[in-house]
Chains A and B, each alone.
Chain A
Amino acid sequence: MKTDNSSWEIGGKTLSSRLLIGSALYPSPANMEDAIKVSGSQIVTVALRRQSAGSNSGGDFWNIIKSLGIEVLPNTAGCHSAKEAITTAKMAREVFGTNWIKLEVIGDQYNLQPDPYETLEAAEVLIKDGFEVFPYTTDDLVVAKRLVDVGCKILMPWGSPIGSGQGLMNPTNLKAIREKFPKIKLIVDAGIGKPSDAVEAMELGYDGVLLNSAIALAHDPVKMADAFRYAIEAGRLGYEAGAMQKREFASASTPTVGTPFWHQFG
């Protein structure tokens, strides 16, 4: 008997998987393809970069992604201003044929922290232009509020810096965002290192998790993709089931009535 209510809606699409997967850093294109398939993910992130006329590497990659038949979420990685991000989003819409955009405007090269001011400015312009914006942001509640104010229906706060694998640095802040915006689709994006991090994010009530390095840089990316598939499902089920309250002291689970050899501890 299956008990999970797995179907969910994001950006106008109804999906079953709550795992959003990146397409970078895999040992090979074939490994990437296998890992994405095994993960069960229905949303894959992609990017745009300069390409010379003689190369068709972009076309080869795009053909693999298209053959997977899943949703594509282009990013604006590498952008440092609203203007760059807006231009990249428009280019992505033309190339990939989707109005979805993972809005990523970096404000600091050391920790790749998103720039809230530029992200906000770009989000407002892009939403007015018909984009479904998936903004990469920190776990700052006020920034989240401002993004919602300009029309974002999805927020993607970081777990920790991109590619760090540190897991959830500040679950308290992530929880506050969840409680403040019950109707906004929330995805933890960046910093996930191991399956238990994804479980933790899902147990907080997040709608999904976006990750790349944790799978692509594992010793066996395909097996790790499988592990994350289970982790996302386990975390979601745990959230839906509702965890017990923590107790200060031990409380026996086996009935004490009829205990043999019973004696009172002093």
Chain B
Amino acid sequence: MIKVSINGEVQEISENLNVSELITKLGYTNKGFAVAINTTFVAIDSYSKTVVKEGDTVDILAPIQGG
């Protein structure tokens, strides 16, 4: 297991998970979100080849009201 921060909360996840596997495991079902790791954008077509590592900061963002 490795520790990563997901949306500001430290969680333990399995090693060698890619982004696609991580978001499925976390339960994200709809497609209306985008992902960044360590403040770098991860495009949707890179999910399967981007492996989450120990200490990574993962942000999963969705639409919200804005000014």
Write out the residue numbers on chain A whose beta carbons fall within 8 Å of the beta carbon of B35: 91
Write out the residue numbers on chain A whose beta carbons fall within 8 Å of the beta carbon of B36: 87, 91
Write out the residue numbers on chain B whose beta carbons fall within 8 Å of the beta carbon of A49: 61-62, 64
Task: Report the separation of the CA atoms of residues A75 and B65 in the bound assembly, to the nearest whole angstrom.
Answer: 10
Q: Which chain B residues have a beta carbon within 8 Å of chain A's beta carbons?
A: 7-8, 23, 26-30, 32-36, 39-41, 43-44, 59-67
Write out the residue numbers on chain B whose beta carbons fall within 8 Å of the beta carbon of A46: 63-66
- Contact partner of B64 among A54, A61, A86, A163, CB < 8 A? A61
Nearest-neighbor residue (CB-CB) of A89 within chain B: B41
- Listed by A's residue number, 6 A-B pairs whose Cβ atoms lie within 8 Å are A23-B66, A47-B64, A57-B64, A75-B67, A92-B34, A163-B67
- Which A residues, 17 to 74, have Cβ-Cβ distances below 8 Å to chain B? 22-26, 32, 45-54, 56-59, 61-62, 65, 74
Write out the residue numbers on chain B whose beta carbons fall within 8 Å of the beta carbon of A138: none
Write out the residue numbers on chain B whose beta carbons fall within 8 Å of the beta carbon of A125: none
**Would B67 and A45 count as touching, CB distance under 8 A?**
yes
By size class, the interface of chain A is 35 or more
**Would B64 and A91 count as touching, CB distance under 8 A?**
no
**Would A91 and B63 count as touching, CB distance under 8 A?**
no
User: How many A-B residue contacts, CB cutoff 8 Å?
Assistant: 107
Task: Report the separation of the CA atoms of residues A115 and B17 in the bound assembly, to the nearest whole angstrom.
Answer: 37
Q: Tell whether A213 is near chain B: CB-to-CB under 8 Å.
A: yes
Which of B26, B43, B61, B63 has its CB near the most chain A CB atoms (within 10 A)?
Answer: B63
Write out the residue numbers on chain B whose beta carbons fall within 8 Å of the beta carbon of A74: 66
**Would A84 and B39 count as touching, CB distance under 8 A?**
yes
- Contact partner of A83 among B29, B39, B44, B62, CB < 8 A? B39
Main secondary structure of the interface of B (DSSP, over half): mixed
Nearest-neighbor residue (CB-CB) of B27 within chain A: A53
**Would B39 and A24 count as touching, CB distance under 8 A?**
no
- Which A residues, 86 to 106, have Cβ-Cβ distances below 8 Å to chain B? 86-88, 90-92, 94-96
Q: Tell whether A237 is near chain B: CB-to-CB under 8 Å.
A: no
Q: Tell whether A227 is near chain B: CB-to-CB under 8 Å.
A: no
- Contact partner of B67 among A25, A54, A86, CB < 8 A? A25
Write out the residue numbers on chain A whose beta carbons fall within 8 Å of the beta carbon of B7: 50-52
**Would A53 and B26 count as touching, CB distance under 8 A?**
yes
**Would A48 and B63 count as touching, CB distance under 8 A?**
yes
Write out the residue numbers on chain B whose beta carbons fall within 8 Å of the beta carbon of A57: 62, 64
Q: Tell whether A77 is near chain B: CB-to-CB under 8 Å.
A: yes
Q: Tell whether A141 is near chain B: CB-to-CB under 8 Å.
A: no
Write out the residue numbers on chain A whose beta carbons fall within 8 Å of the beta carbon of B43: 90, 94
Q: Tell whether A160 is near chain B: CB-to-CB under 8 Å.
A: no
**Would B41 and A59 count as touching, CB distance under 8 A?**
no
Nearest-neighbor residue (CB-CB) of B45 within chain A: A94
- Which A residues, 118 to 159, have Cβ-Cβ distances below 8 Å to chain B? none
Write out the residue numbers on chain B whose beta carbons fall within 8 Å of the beta carbon of A213: 67
Nearest-neighbor residue (CB-CB) of B23 within chain A: A53
Write out the residue numbers on chain A whose beta carbons fall within 8 Å of the beta carbon of B44: 94
Q: Tell whether A10 is near chain B: CB-to-CB under 8 Å.
A: no
Task: Report the separation of the CA atoms of residues A163 and B67 in the bound assembly, to the nearest whole angstrom.
Answer: 9
Task: Report the separation of the CA atoms of residues A102 and B25 in the bound assembly, to the nearest whole angstrom.
Answer: 33
Task: Report the separation of the CA atoms of residues A74 and B66 in the bound assembly, to the nearest whole angstrom.
Answer: 8
Q: A53-B28, A84-B39 are in contact. Are A59 and B62 (CB under 8 A)?
A: yes
